[in-house]
Amino acid sequence: MTGDGLVAALLAADDTDTDAGAWPARVPHRLDSVLAALPRPASAGVRAAVAAVETYALARTGRRLAALHPDEREDVLRSLARRPRLAPLLDLLKVPVLLAAGTERTGVPPVPVPAPADPPLDCTPAEEWPARTTADAVVVGSGAGGAMAARTLARAGLSVVVIEEGRHHPTASFGRRVPLDRFTELYRDGGATVALGRPPVLLPTGRAVGGTTVVNSGTCYRTPDAVLARWRTTFGFELAERLGPLLDEAERTLNVAPQPLDVLGANGLLTLEGARRLGWSAAPLRRNAPGCKGSCQCVVGCPTGAKQSVQLSVLPDACAAGARIVTGARVHRILVDHDVPGPPRAAGVRAHRPDGGELEILSPLVVTAAGALQTPSLLRRSGLGGHPRLGRNLSVHPATSVAGRFAEPVTAWRGVLQSVGVEELRKDGILLEATASPPGMSSFVLPGLGRELRRELEESDRLATLGAMIADRPSGRVRGRDRTLVRYDLAPRDGDRLLTAVRAMGRLLFAAGATEVLTGVPKAPRAGSPEALDDLLARTGPRDLHVSAFHPTGTVAAGGDPQRAPADPEGRLRGVHGVLVADGSVLPGCPEVNPQLSIMAAALAVADAWLGGTGPGG
Ligand SMILES: Cc1cc2nc3c(=O)[nH]c(=O)nc-3n(C[C@H](O)[C@H](O)[C@H](O)COP(=O)(O)OP(=O)(O)OC[C@H]3O[C@@H](n4cnc5c(N)ncnc54)[C@H](O)[C@@H]3O)c2cc1C
C-alpha cells in the first residue's frame, strides 16, 4: 500500500493503532483509493513525494518510516518541516491523507435514510446508444447550463439529445456508499483539478448527469443588479438585460427558499451569533433544498434527494418534453460542415464511449455546456478555437477558509453544509459563508504533523469553519486540447482581498466565542486573539494561503466586441453557425456570488434567443 509509513508518521499511529480494527490502520487503504482516482500525473506526484520523504527518513535514520518507533517518525517529520524547500512536500501530502483519514476517523456511515424515488430521466448508457443518430439539437454536458438549455429547446419542440461524460447516480445510490467513495467518483480527476500558479488553486468540478450541481452546496444567489449592469454596459452582453425574469424562472424550478433555522446546525448558528455580536449583516442562505435534513453531504451527492440539483429538477422536465440523455460519452469533437456557402455550420458531435468505441449524433445545432474549464478544449479539438480570447478571461471566485476552536462540541458535519451568508464585506467583493464539510473533505487543512495533527483530527468536532470567496479579476487561462491545463495568477488586489477575508472570518469566530482561530496558513497556523491574528496576518502573504475555487467562468465570454468576446451578445460562438455557448464559460466575468443561478439563467437566455425569444424572457 502507498505510504503506510508516511500515514503512520503523519497521524502519529502507535502500536495500539496497528490492529485492523483501529481507524488509522485503515487509512493507507483509503489513500490508495484516493490516488487511484487522481489523474496519472497527480498520483505520480503524490507517490514521488512519499518516496522523497522515505528517502529522507532512510538517509537520516537508516530505516524506512514504517520500521521506526513513533517518536523517531515524528522526529523525521519535524526535521523535514524545518527545511524550507522540503516543508511544502509535507503540506501537499497532508491533503490526500486527511481526505483518506476523515471518513475513517469519524466513522461517518452511509446515511441510512430511505431516499425517495427520483423523478424519471431518459438516460441511455453510451454503450447502448446507436453508433449514428440524428437530432435537432445536441447539448454537450448536463450541468447547470446544459440542463437549462436542453429543457428550453425540448419544450420548444426540438428533438434534443444531451450527451454527458459522467454517469447517472440516482439518489438511492448515495446513501449506500461512504462519502469518500462518492467523492472520488463524482468529481473530475478525483477532485484534484489544480490551476497552476502561486499559490496553486484547487479547482474541483463535477462529472455526472447533473454536472457540478450534483456536488454543489445548494446555495442560490441571484446575479447582483450591479453585475448585470456591468455585463451589459462594459461587455455588451445584451442578454443580461433579460436575466431578471429568467432568474425568477430558475428559482422557481429549483424551489429556492431561505434555509430554515431548525436544521442549520451549530456551524451556522455560531456564525449568526458572531455576526450579531459584531453588528454585521448575516442570514441563513437561500438554497434549493426544501426539506433539507442537514446531512451535510451536499458535496458528495445529497443522500436524501432534498437538494434540487438539475438531475432532480431541470433534466426531468427536459426529458418529459422529449429530451434524451446519453451517459458515459465524452464528446471528442463538434462536427463542422465547411462545404456550405457562408460561415461553416455545426453538423453534430462525435463522442468516445468508455469501451473505446465511438458514436456520432448529427445535428444542425450544438450547445456547448461542458463547463468553463472543458468547453475551450472541446472547441479547440473541433477546430473552433481560433478566437484569441478563447480560454482566457477565466475568473474562479477564489476561496479560502478558516476554523475556530470552541470549548463545546460544534460537530460541524451535522447540519446544513453551507448554511449562512455574511454580507458585511460584499461591497469590497468579499462574501463569507459558513461552510462545513464531511470530515476530511474541507478545503481547510488542519495544522500540525504527527501528534499535533492527530490531536487536531481527534478534536475536529470542536471546530467551526467559515469560507470566503472574493470577486476576482479574470486572471486565469485555460489551455489545452485533449487535456485541459489551467493557469491562474491571483491579481495583487485579489490577494489582499483574501487576507482581508481571513481577518474578517477570524474576527467573526472570536466574536462567536472561539478560543483560538486556525488560519490555514502552514507557517502561522494559530491565533489566540483578534490582535494576535492581525499580527500574524501582517507577516503573511496571499501565497501562504491554501486557496480553492469552485466557480470557474468566462472562458468563452459573450459580448459585443468581436475582438474581445469569442461569443456574440446572444451566446453564439463567432465564426461558425449553430454553436451556442450555454455554461459558465459564457458569462463575461465573475458574478461575485455563487454562480449556479446566473449560469442557468444565462443558458436559458442563450437558448431562448436562438429560438427567437419566445420563452419567459422573450
Ligand atoms: C464543491 C462545489 C460546491 C459548489 N457550491 C455551489 C453553490 O452552493 N451554489 C452555486 O451557485 N454554485 C456552486 N458551485 C458551482 C456550480 O455548481 C457550478 O458553477 C455550475 O454547476 C457550473 O455549471 P456549468 O453548466 O458551467 O458546468 P457543470 O455543471 O460543471 O457541467 C458540465 C458538465 O459537462 C460534462 N462534460 C465536460 N466535458 C464533456 C465532454 N467533452 N463530453 C461530454 N460531457 C462533458 C461534465 O462531466 C459536467 O457534467 C459549487 C461547485 C463546487 C465544485
Q: What is the 3-class SS of 489-510, one letter each residue? A: CCCHHHHHHHHHHHHHHHHHHH
In the numeric block, the cell 487509512 is attached to 27
Whole-number percent of the chain with pLDDT over 70 = 97
Burial 321-338 (b: 16+ CB within 10 A, else e): bebbbbbbbbbebbbbee
pLDDT per position as a tens digit, 120-179: 999 999 999 999 999 999 999 999 999 999 999 999 999 999 999 999 999 999 988 888
- In Å, how far from its chain's centre is CA 346? 31
Query: At 105, is the secondary structure helix, strand, or coil?
Result: helix
Domains and CATH numbers, the chain: 1-106 (no CATH), 123-193+203-218+221-255+303-360+367-386+556-612 (3.50.50.60), 258-287+398-470+491-546 (3.30.410)
pTM passes above 0.85? yes
Burial class (CB in 10 A: 0-12, 13-18, 19+), 363: buried
CA of 596 to the centre of ligand 1 (A): 8
Atom 50 of ligand 1: nearest residue by CA position: 216
Spell out the residues 6+ positions from residue 189 whose beta carbon is closer than 8 angstroms to its own: 37, 38, 39, 42
Query: Which grid cell is 572?
Result: 453564439
CB atoms inside a 10 Å sphere around CB 411:
18
Running DSSP on this structure, what letter comes out for residue 120?
A: P
21: pLDDT strictly greater than 80: no
Q: Is 551 a catalytic residue?
A: yes
Other residues' Cβ atoms within 10 Å of the Cβ of residue 117: 9
Choosing from 69, 332, 551, 577, the catalytic residue is: 551
Q: Say which residue, 85 or 489, is predicted with more confidence.
A: 489
Q: Average pLDDT for residues 70-85, to the nearest whole number?
A: 91
Average pLDDT, the chain: 93
Q: How much distance in Å is there from the Cα of 199 to the middle of ligand 1?
A: 23
Residue whose CB lies within 8 A of the most ligand 1 atoms, among 169, 213, 484, for a mutation test:
213
Distant-in-sequence, close-in-space partners of 207: CB < 8 Å, separation ≥ 6: 165, 166, 186, 187, 188
Whole-number pLDDT of residue 20:
60
| Ligand 1 atom 48: residue of nearest CA | 211
Strand ranges (DSSP E) for 227-300? 257-258, 282-284, 286-287
Distance 306 CA to ligand 1 centre (A): 18
The pLDDT of residue 452 is above 60 = yes
Q: Count of alpha carbons within 13 Å of 19, Cβ hemisphere only?
A: 2
Three-class SS state of 138: strand
Residue 110 scores a pLDDT above 70: no
What integer is the mean pLDDT of 67-75? 93
Ramachandran region of residue 334, left (φ > 0), alpha (ψ -120 to 50) or beta?
A: beta
CA distance 282 to 271: 8
Candidate of 212, 222, 288 to mutate for ligand 1, largest count of ligand atoms within 8 Å of Cβ: 212
